[in-house]
Homo-oligomer: A and B are copies of this chain.
Amino acid sequence: MPPLRRIDVVLDSVKRLQRIGATAQKQHPADLAEVLSGLSDAGRLSTFDTLVAQNSRLAMEALSELDAEIGDALLAKRPPDELAKLFLELPTDDAAALVDRLPDDVSAEVLARMRHKDAGDVQHLLAYGDRTAGRIMNPEVFALAEDLTAGEAIEALQRSREVEMVFYLYVVDERRHLVGVVSLRRLLLVSPETPLKRIMTSELVKARVDTDQEEVAQEVANYNLLAIPVVDDENRLVGIITVDDVIDVIKDEATEDILRLAGVPADEHVFTSPWEAWRKRLPWLGVNLGAATLAALVVREFQATVDQFVVLAALMGVVASMGGNAATQTLTVIVRGIALGELTWSNSRRVLGKEALVGVANGIVLGGAAAGVAWGLFGNPYLGAILALAMVINLLVAAIAATLIPIALRALKIDPALASAVFITTMTDVFGFFAFLGLATAFLPYLQRGL
């Protein structure tokens, strides 16, 4: 596989780099980032120091491809002067992302040491809300005046330098209002004297600075775009978001959903320190402890029944566990459907019907099987019947709750993935115990007769 070989080559060259101080000028930042990730903390720090000394731009580009925590650790001990100089090697959006992660006092010092204009650009980006288009856009966007010809546009392009991935050429009026777009390819296909106005498309997909980054990502994905222009509330072109940043957003949002569903803080990585991970996971488990205590209280209410018929203690867990797993299945399909934009208000009733049907069908089949097992193990047909009935009820309730709770949270503008498995499974525990022990209490005479 070529990628693997590629990495081996880079690893070799970095080892050589560390030994004899040779250069790594021609490496791709992503390759260097991967190599850096694989090193020990000390090795990473010394390699990064060497890189900074040789090619600080490449070093910073590699750093901004690293996981946040690893990257931050590489910057942690550097004085504000050096940080200010290093950040200027990066495009403004990448620099802003790094400044944003510094401790508040350090970031203030770093900004104070940047050139006035650069510091202003970074602060401007940081002023936009978290997770908005304004926050992740690159303000260095190449724009053409609407009165140019195709030939003049090509000349302007040839003069420009530090522009991130120019593929769409945005066209603006004299007050920088976004009026159209021309593709680089189209520019090549017309004669040089053609006015831009004639070949530009004026219907274009754009984002506003306050558009949510997830919505931006969905637009870019839906329309198969390579970049999306960002405008302020007066339709002035203020930035661009390219597809590579969109890919990062899509990955991050997917990671967030996966982690939230499991009751893990959305920003945890495998490398998060144990202390940090423990501190952030604890509250979720604390909530679960409260809910599990509630479940224990339900069982205590039926203590008399369990006392008379201790076999119930063994079987009540089966009802709860099946409900929890069925609920997790439903919940996951629903949350992912919402995230992918497939599930909307208009089709939610149909989805509820489907989930309820699946819940009842699972309840009947699995309840029947469980009843058979209970009869076989404990020789009591009534016990099996109660187990089956409790399972049908619990699986139906699990399906309905796991469908409606995330849909309701979404309507309340709360992240539906927060209705994590932690809550839903504990709820099905409580309800499962209640249904099973309640039925057992009601039919206790039959149970005892069955023995």
Q: A residues engaging B (CB < 8 A)?
A: 1-3, 6, 28, 30, 34, 37-38, 65, 67, 154, 157-158, 165-167, 184-185, 188-189, 205-208, 211, 215, 218-224, 226, 243-244, 246-248, 250-251, 254-255, 257-259, 261-264, 268-274, 277-278, 281-282, 284-286, 288-289, 291-293, 295-297, 299-300, 303, 306-307, 310-318, 320-322, 324-326, 328-329, 331-337, 340, 342-344, 346-347, 351, 353-354, 357-358, 361-362, 365-366, 369-370, 373, 377, 421-422, 425-426, 429, 433
B-chain residues with CB within 8 Å of residue A247 when the two chains form the complex: 220-221, 243, 246-247, 250
A289 touches B366 (CB 8 A): yes
B28 touches A223 (CB 8 A): yes
A219 to B2, CA, bound (A): 11
Q: Shortest beta-carbon distance, A346 to chain B, in Å?
A: 6
A270 touches B329 (CB 8 A): no
Known contacts: A296-B317, A317-B320. The answer to whether A262 contacts B158 by CB under 8 A is no
A365 to B300, CA, bound (A): 24
10 closest Cβ pairs, A-B complex: A270-B337, A254-B254, A262-B332, A313-B313, A299-B314, A224-B244, A30-B222, A274-B357, A296-B314, A292-B318
B-chain residues with CB within 8 Å of residue A2 when the two chains form the complex: 205-208, 211
A-B contact pairs, 13 of them (CB 8 A): A6-B205, A157-B185, A226-B226, A261-B261, A272-B354, A278-B357, A278-B358, A284-B325, A284-B329, A289-B369, A292-B317, A303-B310, A316-B317
Known contacts: A185-B184, A362-B278. The answer to whether A65 contacts B264 by CB under 8 A is no
Known contacts: A211-B1, A296-B318, A343-B270. The answer to whether A370 contacts B310 by CB under 8 A is no
Residue from the list B188, B207, B278 in contact with A158, Cβ < 8 A: B188
